[in-house]
Amino acid sequence: MTLSMTAPAMAAAPPACSPMAARLTMPPLPDAAAPLSVVGCRRVAAKHKAVVVLGATGTGKSRLAIDLALRFGGEVINSDKIQAYAGLDVATNKVGPAERAAVPHHLLGVVHPDAEFTAADFRREAAGAAARVASRGRVPIIAGGSNSYVEELVEGDRRAFRERYDCCFLWVDARLPVLHGFVARRVDEMCRRGLVDEVAAAFDPRRTDYSRGIWRAIGVPEMDAYLRAGGHGDGDGDEQEQRARMLAAALDEIKVNTSRLALRQRGKIQRLARMWRVRRVDATEVFLKRGHAADEAWQRLVAAPCIDAVRSFLLEEQEYSSSMVTASMFASTAAAAV
């Protein structure tokens, strides 16, 4: 597995703490260390906290991950195998520069386009990124559509990740007919953002294998025939009309394949939900609305309940530790009084 040197692994690190804040907090923990909590009169290692955002393509996983990161001081670890590759930012639907500037992102656009990036590679890289995020006192938020990668991270290597982190699993879902309609509109929007030109610029007529690296991305193999026929090239009216039909057919195929991907992803999440304690939120109403109404529905139906769930999750250990300290102090006082 080769990491690209042309794209940063993450956005700029968060601002350093002030000298006053530094004096009021513990020194940074080493990467692999876990925080300490007091149980009785013993100090024992407590698990770090991590949030995992699941969802089929187009449901808003990246949006929710950024909402949570901004609210709770988190950093996003990408778990989408295609978005891990450098290049084709429109085709792979990566978050834009503004979002990356607001929230540090890891494993986004860092793998060489021709390299293999296996689930085991992801587990190692994501575990390392999560350790570095947690060592800064921030919350790792794993978000992306490759559920096999997420399962490998959480369950692989003898469940090492689960030994180190308590996980809060969130699932952004929507009714399939509504999601399929949204996916089709999103492909049209990607075309307006330059999808066809981007894929055409990366097209190599010598390439015939679309089963490796970034070239597996939906939107790339579907346009092969159109680009081999000349794409946007000059020609008479009949040739241009034929190319227009080929492009329309390619875009229809992209929409169908994206819908099929969403269906497969949803099935995998349903299986994972039987293994893990997963909080599902229904975003169907969001996709039925437009503009401000859609934003309001997102805040009410997705962001707010997920923020509440994560807030409770992050406070669990703190409340538990505080109750144990109080119980220990009460026991010590009672013993002294005997």
Structural domains in the chain, CATH included, are 39-324 (3.40.50.300)
Query: How far is residue 280's CA from residue 180's CA, in Å, rounded to a whole number?
Result: 19
- The pLDDT tens digits for 79-110 are 999 999 999 999 999 999 999 999 999 999 99
pLDDT score of 130: 98
Extract the tokens encoding 43: 């100090």
Q: 0.85 exceeded by the pTM?
A: no
Query: How far is residue 322's CA from residue 106's CA, in Å, rounded to a whole number?
Result: 33
Query: Do residues 61 and 165 touch, judged by C-beta distance below 8 A?
Result: no
The amino acid at residue 264 is R
Q: State how beta strands 48-55 and 165-173 pair.
A: parallel
CB atoms within 10 A of CB 106: 24
pLDDT score of 45: 58
pLDDT score of 87: 97
pLDDT score of 180: 93
Phi, psi for residue 84 in degrees, rounded to 5: -70, -25
- The pLDDT tens digits for 277-313 are 999 999 999 999 999 999 999 999 999 999 999 999 9
pLDDT < 50 positions in the chain: 5-33, 38-44, 319-338
Extract the tokens encoding 192: 């307006």
SS (H, E, C) the chain: CCECCCCCCCCCCCCCCCHHHHHHCCCCCCCCCCCEEEECCEEEECCEEEEEEEECCCCCHHHHHHHHHHHHCEEEEECCCCCCECCCCCCCCCCCHHHHHHCCEECCCCECCCCCCCHHHHHHHHHHHHHHHHHCCCEEEEECCCHHHHHHHHHHHHHHHHHHEEEEEEEEECCHHHHHHHHHHHHHHHHHCCHHHHHHHHCCCCCCCCCCHHHHCCCCHHHHHHHHCCCCCCCCHHHHHHHHHHHHHHHHHHHHHHHHHHHHHHHHHHHHHHHCCEEEEECHHHHCCCHHHHHHHHHHHHHHHHHHHHHHHHHHHHHHHHHHHHHHHHHHHHHHHC
Q: State how beta strands 36-39 and 42-45 pair.
A: antiparallel
